[in-house]
Amino acid sequence: MESAQHKQAVEAVATLEIRLPWVISSAWQTVLSQTPLEFEATKDIYFQLKEQAQDVLGAALTRQIRAFVEDPDLTSMVIRNCPRDRDIPPTPYSGVLSPKSTPIACLVSLSLQSLLGIHPVVYEGENDGRLFRHVIPSRTSSSQKSSHGSRLRFSYHVDNPDLPLSSEALGEHSCCPEYLSFFGMRCDPRINTTLVNLDDVIEQLPAATVRELSLPQFEVRRPDSFASQRRSTPNLAVLVRGSANEWLCRFDSENTYGMNATAELALNTLRTLLETRRFDEPHLLLPGDFMIFKNQRVLHARDGFEPQNDGADRWLLRVFAVNDLNRVRFARADHLYEVLS
């Protein structure tokens, strides 16, 4: 039986945490403040940002950051003390704000994704085609279980789980996002972003439950953020093996249903285990913190909270990304990011 010490060590390497020294963060801030955020030329800017980041961060930090994508045991990474906008507007409760209002935050997110060799995307029908989604307590969506909700707990889930996972064939839709990143704009010490490492959960599930979750006997509905594209996709497996034999997941506690009694029992077993909260890894993101995790290898959640609606509520900037643009179907030929969902 695995010892407690060994299990703790395995869990510890799942998240890579890096803290940028002040001198590096300050130098990067200076470079980014002189970089225009022009989305009409995003392709060129994307590669320019990569070169800038490499120069400022140096070889050792660059290698450490890139290890997140290259190391299959790493499922999440937090980079603290990144450059940030010094004078940000009030929390945008509408969920709409021009990237030019927070250029440093947007440029840091794009820079780090470019440095990692991954590609930011936005899905048709979600976030009105905007690349950056503001994770805020929207005044009109407080009872919605989405990144714009607040009062209800947003339970364990993978984002866009009805789309094909990394090892599944594509149909007419793009692949499920492989990465999800958050940039801390404004924090609330009461509210953590909770991550759960998939491998830790599967180790504790009965083998029979894992087998049932691996069968195509589940229906997955579109999450609330796709308000204009509600649909259900049947005959999907919740657990799938990836190309390196790693486990991938499309579980969404609010939107996954068993298509028969045995499948529903397996889902309930998974839910019950997760709700013990023994696998929770809470992360408090401070302004200037960048978090990224492998969407299909990590479940995430957020507890409910009561917003103050005073302009100083919690605010994160979210971006999706994929490894390979050949795994997406472009919604518009003239748009680098928008893909079919």
Closest CA to 156 of 120, 127, 197, 116: 197
Return phi, psi of residue 80, to 5°. -100, 155
DSSP 221-283: EPPTT-TT---EEEEE-SEEE-TTS-EEE--BTTTEEESSHHHHHHHHHHHHHHTT-TT-EEE
Q: Where are the alpha helices (DSSP H) in the chain?
A: 4-12, 22-33, 42-70, 103-116, 198-204, 207-213, 261-274
From CA 14, how far away is CA 137, in angstroms rounded?
Answer: 29
Angle (nearest 5°) at CA 121 between 61 and 314: 70
- Identify the DSSP state of 199: H
The annotation status of 148 as a binding-site residue, yes or no, is no
Q: Within 10 A of 153 (CB to CB), how many other CB atoms are there?
A: 15
Work out whether strand 232-236 and strand 218-221 pair parallel, antiparallel, or are unpaired: antiparallel
Q: How far apart, in Å, do the first and last CA atoms of the chain sit?
A: 43
Q: ∠ CA 293-234-197 to the nearest 5 degrees? A: 20
Question: Rounded to 5 degrees, what are φ and ψ at 257?
Answer: -135, 140
Q: What is the DSSP letter of 218?
A: E
Q: Residue positions in the annotated binding site for Fe cation?
A: 300
